[in-house]
Amino acid sequence: MFYYIYDIWGKVERMRLIYLLMSVAMLASFTGCNSGPGQTPYNAPQQGPVNVPQQDSKNVQQQEPGCAPQQGTLPKMVYSMKGVGIALPNEDFVKMKKAGIDIISAEWGMEEDVSKARTFLDQAYAAGLRVVMDGGFSYTAWGFIVDDWDNLPRGKRPVWQKEKVQSWIKALKDHPAIYAWDISNEFGENLPSGAGMKNSDWPASRLTTAQLKQAKADVLEVDSSRPIHARMYEWDEDVVPEHIKGLLENRIADIISLNLYSNYLEDGKLQWPDVIKDVGASRVEGIKKMAPGTTVWLSIAAFEYHGLFGRPTVASLNRDFKEVLKICNLDGISFFCWGPVNEWDPSCNWYLPKTGADLWNAIQQNIKDAQQAN
């Protein structure tokens, strides 16, 4: 959701415009790589203890959506950390793994050098972490350039860059740290042609079902061994929007990350602090019904941004985590975000283990308590 607040993208007004559409929806309810074909298999470093748990349906009672599982009946959750920076010390990866984080993902992608991506993957692998890697969510995957963030040519829309994407995937696919390929962040809402961007004709520039189907096919053509991941927002309409229905009913994504951030601000006030309690269970149920067999991870807020997203308190994070654990048939919990955000937006200094140390401590305790409950 937070996505490409690129180096030059530090303007609060732009962010305010982008999140305007998101607020309405909530109320109404990786430069292409130089490596290519013929690359030799990647020699990875020594592997840490990778252990991504799977949900054990045998030990989960069958309950209605929104039900609270009894002691000993919680599913084996996958825990993931989002927004992990590309230039981190090894100790950060070790900290996340020690805390119970299984999978990490990033806000950077095909605009970065393959060598830097490999270094990141090496670090994750050595710590025992798996990575959801850019497989088409980034702006370069859809034909945009850096200048488009500030000066989008009028009428320019996303155009899938098959050769660039497949070259990137070929260069990285042999790395054992990669868990999944991420092809979409909220249907392109956060691309240069997204909601509220200058010269954008959103929502006509929204990624279509056909485009996402093509993206999936082209990724799987190169690497069919890993699942496809997509991020999406919730909906609160009597009729499910066609773009959401298209994503789900066509089974475009094997893993859906559902972003439900309770810290969004409107006029300086929290807009929907109980969003997870109010719609979390029903939205997970809706995804599972429309796309049977889909893995669903729910993303909760652990970040602050420029008065648009308030700083969560330990109490609010604990509340959100508690509410998520009540959701039946949920496969994982994600936290946004680690940072440091100033890697892609110099105007924001959010870095969870430092500026959000109290929240990081709360995350560790919540994961520990949930795991002990099993």
pLDDT for 248 equals 96
Task: Identify the residue whose tokens are 């830097």.
Answer: 116
Amino acid at 288: K
Spatial distance between the Cα atoms of 253 and 137, rounded to a whole number of angstroms: 12
pLDDT for 298 equals 98
Distances (CA, A) of 48 to 76, 121, 128, 334, 367: 20, 12, 4, 21, 20
Encode burial over 334-353: b for 16+ CB neighbours within 10 A, e otherwise: bbbbbbbbbbbbeebebbbb
Q: Dump pLDDT digits (tens) for 88-126.
A: 999 999 999 999 999 999 999 999 999 999 999 999 999
Q: Dump pLDDT digits (tens) for 32-79.
A: 333 333 333 445 456 666 566 554 322 333 334 444 444 434 457 899
Q: What superfamily would CATH give domain 12-32+44-372?
A: Glycosidases (3.20.20.80)
Q: What angle do CA 117, 123, 124 make, to 5 degrees?
A: 90
Q: What angle do CA 120, 137, 119 make, to 5 degrees?
A: 10
Predicted TM-score (pTM) of this structure: 0.83
Tell me: pLDDT of 249 over 80. Answer: yes
pLDDT for 52 equals 60
Spatial distance between the Cα atoms of 102 and 49, rounded to a whole number of angstroms: 10
Q: Dump pLDDT digits (tens) for 184-201.
A: 999 988 888 988 788 998
Q: Dump pLDDT digits (tens) for 209-237.
A: 999 999 999 999 999 999 999 999 888 77
Question: φ, ψ for residue 189 (rounded to 5)?
Answer: -60, -25
Tell me: pLDDT of 2 over 80. Answer: no
- Mean pLDDT across the stretch 345-364? 96
Question: φ, ψ for residue 308 (rounded to 5)?
Answer: -95, -30
pLDDT band at 346 (very low <50, low <70, confident <90, very high): confident
pLDDT for 345 equals 83
Spatial distance between the Cα atoms of 228 and 181, rounded to a whole number of angstroms: 5
Helices and strands: H and E segment counts in the chain = 11, 10
Tell me: pLDDT of 19 over 90. Answer: no
pLDDT for 38 equals 35
Read off the tokens for 11. Answer: 């303007």
Helix (H, G, I), strand (E, B) or coil at 125: helix
pLDDT for 71 equals 40
Could you give the percent of the chain with pLDDT greater than 70? 80
Could you tell me if 241 and 282 are in contact, meaning their C-beta atoms sit under 8 angstroms apart?
A: no
Percentages of the chain per state (helix, strand, coil), in multiples of 5: 35, 15, 50
More confidently predicted of 192 and 315: 315
Region of 199 on the Ramachandran plot (φ > 0 left; ψ -120 to 50 alpha; else beta): left
